[in-house]
Amino acid sequence: MSALDQFPVIPVIVIDDVADAKPLANALLEGGLNIIEVTFRTAAAAGAIEAIANAFPEMLVGAGTVVTPEQAKIAIDSGSKFGLAPGTDPETIAYFKERGIPFIPGIMTPSDIQAAIKAGCEHLKFFPAGAAGGPKLLKAMAAPYAKLGVKFCPTGGVSLDNMNEYLSIPEVFAIGGSWLATKAQIANKDWSAITVQVKEALAKAAQA
């Protein structure tokens, strides 16, 4: 079993200020979750990953929105223990494999799934989950590949209200959630609210 299979929920985080990285990670840990995806959507991403990796070695810190081998190098050198992308880029996948770091490419169609499998990936990101067709589409699309051991992490449009519709699908190993720590909450340093939301999500996941 991969380390990624231990967590039913992966918080998808956008960090604008590196100074917020450690208190945010601590808020997640206080809620019972020791995994985080820091997206490469801001200039602070690499610094935030490095800060979390150094301060909380027990946390599985990953880099999201990694779309080039150059970003992959920065992410891994900063301390990322896994990576994710919205799409499937063979060169980026190859770089992660060379470095021995798990990578979760994004898929939205059966052709995407087959391309990812061909590149040697088993954990895939279904994105954008809600806009693409939600649990109904993922369940139908995953079925032909079930015997190959392919697993999915739906992200995009996933919420506390619908997360278990995804987690009830056998091929889903986790859901990605941006609501667990919103940009506004991070900016306002509302760490206690984030901890509460994590606890709620984990309690909900336990019912799936």
pLDDT bucket at 127, cuts 50 / 70 / 90: very high
Q: 15, 37 in Cβ contact below 8 A?
A: no
Give 11's strand partners: 177
Mean pLDDT of the residues in the chain: 97
β-strand pairing of 175-177 with 60-64: unpaired
Query: Which residue in the list 37, 50, 165, 171 is annotated as catalytic?
Result: 37
Average pLDDT over residues 171-181: 98
In our burial notation (b when 16+ CB lie closer than 10 A, e otherwise), range 66-101 reads: beebebbebbbebbbbbbbbbebbeebbebbeeeeb
Q: pLDDT tens-digit profile of 137-146?
A: 999 999 999 9
Q: Round to whole Å and give the CA distance between 67 and 187.
A: 26
Apex 128 CA angle, 122 and 133, nearest 5: 95
Residue that the structure tokens 């994590």 belong to: 198
Average pLDDT over residues 94-112: 98
Clarify whether 125 is annotated catalytic: yes
Does residue 61 have a pLDDT over 80? yes
d(CA 92, CA 70): 8
pLDDT bucket at 2, cuts 50 / 70 / 90: confident
Segment 81-91 mean pLDDT? 98
pLDDT of residue 1: 62
Q: CA-to-CA distance for 181 and 4, rounded, in angstroms?
A: 20
125, 151, 165, 171: the active-site residue = 125
Q: pTM (2 decimals)?
A: 0.96
For the chain, domains (ranges, CATH) are 7-205 (3.20.20.70)
